[in-house]
């Protein structure tokens, strides 16, 4: 079976600006893949090329084996754009009905009801979109992307307008989709969210993939922290397997050990490192400013 999404040597230039400089990615069936990167890194351009909204300058993008932009490829995925709007005059139910007609989904009212319930909008099928909050519209966008049961979802910042409860709903939904074998490409700025749900992550910066792997692979050992009667002590160079030895030595030295914590860097640390920013950078800059001000 071909990959859900395969990107090979993808390049895109907007005039003199190189938005993508040879990106390679592969998204397997049922995989949740996180795409991270600073603003202007090329993430949205990559997703738009996969959707056929933007034409690549070079390289190949295939959706379940079909060239991106082809009718066959379009029939395979659902998409939620970062900046989207639905006609304010129509209701949630009418909008889903229009998209059902366009994709030829025979699901009818039952499908619309199921999807609205899935994104917790089941109580407002007849509400005008203009009367919905931005968060509700974003959840409606997700329902629209799920019409017809696509095997691949391309989500560009799907939780940017959601409150914590709304984000939790989307996370749960993504997990349900993974169980059903749906592949998801999640383009998000919310690193904690990506870390929680994604199987693999790619970090893009300056139009190129600068780091990729599972969240665990991208994280790095950060030492071992031991709490004793004298306070917390950090063994910065220690790894997980060193923890029993450290505890034994401390106990042998007559210290009481209350807790042991193996430290790892977060995805945020890995991200900041990958895009060339020190996690402590802003703090150091602010401290330097403070010194200069004295």
Partner 1 sequence: MSTPLEPPGRLRAALIVARFSLRESLRRRVFVVIAVLTLIFLVLYGLATWQAFEAADEFGTGTASGVDAGTVVGATMAGLAMFATLFLGTILAVFLTLGAVRGDAERGLLQPLLVRPLPRHTLLLGRWLGATAVCAPYVVVIALASFALTRALGGWWPDRLAGPLLGLALGVAIIAALSLAGSIVLASTANGIAVFMLFGAGLTAGLLGQIAEAIGSDGLDDIARVATWALPFEALYQAGLAEITIDTVGFARLAIDLGPFGGAEAAGAGLWLWSLGYLAAVGGAAVAAFARRDL
Contact footprint for partner 1 (CB under 8 A): 14, 48, 51-55, 71, 74-75, 77, 79-81, 83-87, 89-90, 98-99, 101-107, 111, 114-115, 141, 144, 146, 148-149, 151, 180
**Which of 80/238 has CB closer to partner 1?**
80
**Which of 95/224 has CB closer to partner 1?**
95
Burial category of 53 from C-beta neighbours within 10 Å (exposed 0-12, middle 13-18, buried 19 and up): middle
Indicate the DSSP class of residue 83: S
Q: How far is the CB of 289 from partner 1 (least distance, A)?
A: 39
Q: How far is the CB of 285 from partner 1 (least distance, A)?
A: 36
- By residue count, the chain amounts to 294
**Which of 181/276 has CB closer to partner 1?**
181
Residue 96, number of CB atoms within 10 A of its CB? 26
Is residue 26 classed as helix, strand or coil in its secondary structure?
Answer: strand
* Nearest-angstrom CA–CA distance, 204 and 198: 16
**Which of 136/270 has CB closer to partner 1?**
136
As a three-state string, the secondary structure of 174-229 is: HHHHHHCCCEEEEECCCHHHHHHHCCEEEEEECCEEEEEECHHHHCCEEEEEEEEC
Q: How far is the CB of 189 from partner 1 (least distance, A)?
A: 18
Residue 159, number of CB atoms within 10 A of its CB? 24
Q: How far is the CB of 153 from partner 1 (least distance, A)?
A: 11
Pick from 208, 289, 260: nearest CA to 25: 208
**Which of 35/270 has CB closer to partner 1?**
35
Q: How far is the CB of 47 from partner 1 (least distance, A)?
A: 10
Q: How far is the CB of 99 from partner 1 (least distance, A)?
A: 6
């Amino acid at each position: 079976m071909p990959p859900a999404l395969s990107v090979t040597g993808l390049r895109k230039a907007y005039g003199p600006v190189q938005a993508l400089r040879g990106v390679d990615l592969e998204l397997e069936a049922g995989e949740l893949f996180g795409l991270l990167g600073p603003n202007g890194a090329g993430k949205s351009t990559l997703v738009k090329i996969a959707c056929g909204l933007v034409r690549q300058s070079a390289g190949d993008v295939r959706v379940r084996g079909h060239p991106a932009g082809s009718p066959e490829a379009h029939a395979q995925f659902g998409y939620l754009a970062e900046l989207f709007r639905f006609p304010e005059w129509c209701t949630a139910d009418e909008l889903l009905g229009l998209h059902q007609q366009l994709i030829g989904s025979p699901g009818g009212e039952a499908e619309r009801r199921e999807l609205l319930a899935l994104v917790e909008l089941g109580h407002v099928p007849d509400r005008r979109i203009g009367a919905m909050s931005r968060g509700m519209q974003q959840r409606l966008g997700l329902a629209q992307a799920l019409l017809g049961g696509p095997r691949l979802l391309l989500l560009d910042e799907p939780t940017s307008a959601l409150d914590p409860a709304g984000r939790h709903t989307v996370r749960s939904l993504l997990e349900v989709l993974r169980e059903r074998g749906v592949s998801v490409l999640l383009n998000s700025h919310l690193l904690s969210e990506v870390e929680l749900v994604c199987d693999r992550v790619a970090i893009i910066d300056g139009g190129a993939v600068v780091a990729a792997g599972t969240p665990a692979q991208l994280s790095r050992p950060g030492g071992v922290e031991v709490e004793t009667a004298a306070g917390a002590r950090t063994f910065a160079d220690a790894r997980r397997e060193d923890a029993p030895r450290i505890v034994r030595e401390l106990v042998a030295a007559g210290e009481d050990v209350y807790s042991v914590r193996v430290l790892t860097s977060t995805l945020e640390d890995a991200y900041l490192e990958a895009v060339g920013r020190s996690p402590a950078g802003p703090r150091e800059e602010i401290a330097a400013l403070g010194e200069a001000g004295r």
